[in-house]
A and B are shown apart, each in its own frame.
Chain A
């Protein structure tokens, strides 16, 4: 029998997360700090709107791009929060989560052999999606000493004649890094100079803790060369609703809508109705969640400091990215022995790119009580490691 699978897919590495998930799944009593989604329930006003739309029998397809009312609401939100104006009719596409937006943007924009610059550590899907879309991923290893921000020098060094796109995500999963306006301005200069495009995954944009999020699309001359990806999962605790959106120049959104139409038809109708309520009525809930994350972030930062675990202060998302090289173990070995010895699951940093080796991703999308127990165990674990070290 012929191999039913394509060479390209056969050649793809499974996600490092998946492997670790399988190990953790076999330990039902482990405390996990490995989750990449909010611990909060979707605000009740949003769930109620979803229920109401079902009661009303709104169970049909929407237009390919999504409900116009929702697109208009998104445009108002973008303008209000991030000071970028989009045309709801031509520049917005509702997608099945931010993930689909990234995939569709890459498929709509890449020619075979086009290079896509991907700063790492990053979300696990970027490299495989570029490959599936026929592009060539070119990764940049971001540095701890730069707080995992992308520098113009690093970008400049990675650009070739074949470079088509830069794919960035700030606030970042897994590092929690952000890029401030000045950082983005320098990147924008390089992008414009070399005439490349940007896909900016801003799914964590509501979760910043020092200053508000700045969208690279809001910088002069950038809106016309940027596809912004965002969604409802993180800001409104709506992961299971699978709803995201892409915004960009009409010419790109039009072609993305074509791909989306053939693959997906439209984003889930119930979720779209519910999302209107999220944008209209949930500023207070979003602020409350942000405040709770910030408190946990400060708690973890203080705990790490006390136990002498080096970690730069992350200003975004809900992740900490401590450095564990002092223990002379690979991230995966550290995570595996922590799990076995203390039943605490964290994600090895190299699951997000080779340069994540030596780091751990610790999620604080957990209650303070859970975090306290887990951190107590991590503290025990590293104290035992330090005491048993022959050099200790």
Chain B
């Protein structure tokens, strides 16, 4: 069973758009089993969501992404979770990780402009209880996201027919 789960996960990890029929055929399984297994994994929150990787630069829609290194004071009894929750509840926060090393939390923010991101940091993040300091880095270019290269459409350079 875990084997089937792993096979399905590996297949949809980089292509969430595969139909259950295709998954069933490619893995030699019954389609109903595939549907069941996926729905079970959704219920158990093994599968937490489905997203689309978008290169916004090509849409003319301005977006900025920033990585903010945050140092925090862990709260008694709740460690970092309480501060984390306060941070991730903001919709602007796209990813939040607890880190080892020189700072405690890596916060990824997406905004329309640099100003918008700066204001978020200045007004909401920095003054937050438990937050000691922030350090903001803007993303200049995305090369690869979630395992997908942003500009990968390589031409097939193989000879068209070979023995």
Cβ of A36 under 8 Å from chain B = yes
| Nearest-Cβ distance from residue A139 to partner chain B, whole angstroms | 17
Q: Report the Cα distance A24→B156, complex, angstroms.
A: 15
B158, A35: Cβ atoms under 8 Å?
Answer: yes
| Nearest-Cβ distance from residue B25 to partner chain A, whole angstroms | 5
For window 142-163 of chain B, which residues contact chain A by CB distance below 8 Å? 156, 158-163
Q: How many residues of A contact B (CB 8 A)?
A: 27
Residues in A whose Cβ lies below 8 Å from that of B35: none
Residues in B whose Cβ lies below 8 Å from that of A24: 160-161
| Nearest-Cβ distance from residue B80 to partner chain A, whole angstroms | 34
Q: Report the Cα distance A35→B159, complex, angstroms.
A: 7
Cβ of B28 under 8 Å from chain A = yes
Q: Report the Cα distance A21→B27, complex, angstroms.
A: 33
Cβ of A77 under 8 Å from chain B = no
Q: Report the Cα distance A319→B160, complex, angstroms.
A: 15
Q: Which residue of B lies closest to A123 (CB)?
A: B163
Cβ of A15 under 8 Å from chain B = yes
> If the complex has contacts A35-B158, A37-B158, are A124 and B163 also in contact, measured as CB distance less than 8 A?
yes
Cβ of B118 under 8 Å from chain A = no
| Nearest-Cβ distance from residue B50 to partner chain A, whole angstroms | 18
B162, A35: Cβ atoms under 8 Å?
Answer: yes
Interface residue stretch chosen among A129-137, A186-194, A294-302:
A294-302
Q: Which residue of A lies closest to B28 (CB)?
A: A298
| Nearest-Cβ distance from residue B144 to partner chain A, whole angstroms | 13
Q: Report the Cα distance A33→B28, complex, angstroms.
A: 23
Q: How many residues of B contact A (CB 8 A)?
A: 14
| Nearest-Cβ distance from residue B157 to partner chain A, whole angstroms | 10
Cβ of A84 under 8 Å from chain B = no
Cβ of B11 under 8 Å from chain A = yes
Cβ of A244 under 8 Å from chain B = no
For window 109-133 of chain A, which residues contact chain B by CB distance below 8 Å? 123-125
Residues in A whose Cβ lies below 8 Å from that of B10: 291
Residues in B whose Cβ lies below 8 Å from that of A124: 163
| Nearest-Cβ distance from residue B28 to partner chain A, whole angstroms | 5
Q: Which residue of B lies closest to A36 (CB)?
A: B162
From the candidates B22, B28, B163, name the one contacting A17 in the complex (CB within 8 A). Answer: B163
Q: Report the Cα distance A340→B28, complex, angstroms.
A: 34
Partner-B contacts on A (CB < 8 A): 15, 17, 20-21, 24-25, 30, 32, 34-37, 39, 123-125, 173, 291, 295-296, 298-299, 302, 345, 347, 351, 368
> Could you jot down 24 A-B contacts, CB within 8 Å?
A17-B163, A21-B161, A21-B162, A24-B161, A25-B160, A32-B160, A35-B158, A36-B162, A37-B158, A37-B162, A125-B163, A173-B163, A291-B10, A295-B11, A295-B26, A295-B27, A298-B25, A298-B27, A299-B22, A345-B160, A345-B161, A347-B161, A368-B22, A368-B26
Partner-A contacts on B (CB < 8 A): 10-11, 22, 25-28, 156, 158-163
